[in-house]
Amino acid sequence: MAEAPTKQKLWGGRFTGKTDPLMHAFNQSLKYDQRMAAVDIRGSIAYAKALTRVAILTPAEEERMVAGLAAVGKEWADGVFAPQEDDEDIHTANERRLSELIGPLGGKLHTGRSRNDQVATDVRLWLLDQVTATEDNLKALIRVLVERADNEKDYILPGYTHLQRGQPIRWAHLLLSYAFSFRSDLERLRQLVPRIAVLPLGSGALAGNPFGVDREFLARELGFHSVAENSLWGVADRDFIAEFLMWASLVMVHMSKMAEDLIIYSTAEFGFVSLSDAYSTGSSMMPQKKNPDSLELLRGKSGRLFGNMAGFMMTLKGLPSTYNKDLQEDKEPLFDTVDNLTACLSIAEGVIATLTVNGEKMRAALTMDVLATDLADYLVRKGIPFRETHHVSGRAVALAEARQCQINELTFADFKSLHAGFTEDIYAVFDFEASVERRQAIGGTSRAMVERQIAVLRAELLK
């Protein structure tokens, strides 16, 4: 009496020995790639339809197969799918369960298809879905920055370079500077989509599909923009993942810079802003502490996401052509990056939406020396070269320091001693609101230019 057939791995026909259990666990990716279950089903349904178009399946077989795949997908969605020990990955698990439901017909699904082109397709499909969600989250962060800026145009604070007070700016202008960094990130994210939306399915293991499947049909079914024109490249390319990880790293650099500013501005020494209790924690020892942990975590996550990108680039750099198992290392850094970026965008949105602004503290931090450039500009308007007026203004600052007073407290005689171009209207320079309103060129911190920036960003959010 013949023995009952044993379960075979998808690649098991060539092998007679058993896999080391440790190697089986080392090789298995189902524990993390099962999150691609839905897109694996989508890809398989499309491929079943393509097989019917080249007479590998009959219409009746296609109907049974699609129904079976839909049932497998529902099991995943309902949380009742039961993985088996031999399920190496999501592709093996789904095909095994399909054959349990529809019998030997399930074995036809893999005709002309390899896990090489299947996994490349799944990852691209999954990432395209994530890009859509990420765009929504990024736009939500930009939107809350824009709305706060629109509502808080009256607050004026020192603008800093080298962490030294430079010139007065509107608080809204600072918020919008963050928003424009994220606007550039939004543009770059949209530019990634055509490079992600390239169909590998139909490339086979490496040499192409021998049954003439209509890959343009597959692309239309799955929502891809184009078809991988070279099968070797199609199964091996992970540049789209590397590029997404680079993109996410840059987003987090922008997030980290914003967090650093707000951490500094929330200290008692500055007191410009205060985080809501929802995004702060206390100290286990010091009862008075209110720590900006949300912002510190955002700053810290930037290093983690950069590490994901750098590690994956090192995986890619030494690979020979086509598919190598090293490429299984693409998913965990990608999944981790998407998960953490999603959380960071939501936390940042919440922090910005709920923080409290202390306009009086901002105003109190404005000292007259931040109008030194305005003082130089005053003389420029009287026809004196800026290089000369810059020197005169610097001497005025030095004189005020020597007198231990503010620049505007110098006497008119003091100003006349510094330069004959000063007239009695000099004291009109010493007005912070007037200073910001002089910045009327595009990009400036005047009210009109801030409103222009808000309009530009709102238009971007409508795209």
Gyration radius of the chain over CA positions: 31
**Closest-CA residue to 35 (of 101, 85, 93):** 93
DSSP track, 238-261: -HHHHHHHHHHHHHHHHHHHHHHH
What angle separates helix 115-151 from helix 447-461, to the nearest 10 degrees? 150
Q: Provide the greatest CA pair distance for the chain.
A: 118
SS3 (DSSP) at 167: strand
Task: Return the bridge partners of 226, or none.
Answer: 198
CA distance 39 to 400: 69
91 classed as catalytic: no
CA distance 342 to 310: 20
Q: Which of 184, 226, 276, 283 is catalytic?
A: 283
Tokens of 145: 């920055």
**Closest-CA residue to 347 (of 267, 293, 284):** 293
For residue 390, what is the enclosing H or E element?
Answer: helix 386-403
Helix, strand, coil percentages, rounded to 5, for the chain: 65, 5, 30
How many whole angstroms from its chain centre is CA 98? 36
Task: Return the bridge partners of 291, or none.
Answer: 281
Which residue carries 């993985």 as its tokens? 83
Beta strands in 95-229 (DSSP E): 156-161, 164-170, 198-199, 226-227
CA distance 117 to 208: 9
Q: Give ∠ CA 57-61-66 in degrees, rounded to 5.
A: 105
Q: Which of 162, 181, 294, 391 is catalytic?
A: 162
CA distance 282 to 291: 6
225 classed as catalytic: no
Tokens of 387: 């290089």
Active-site positions read 162, 283
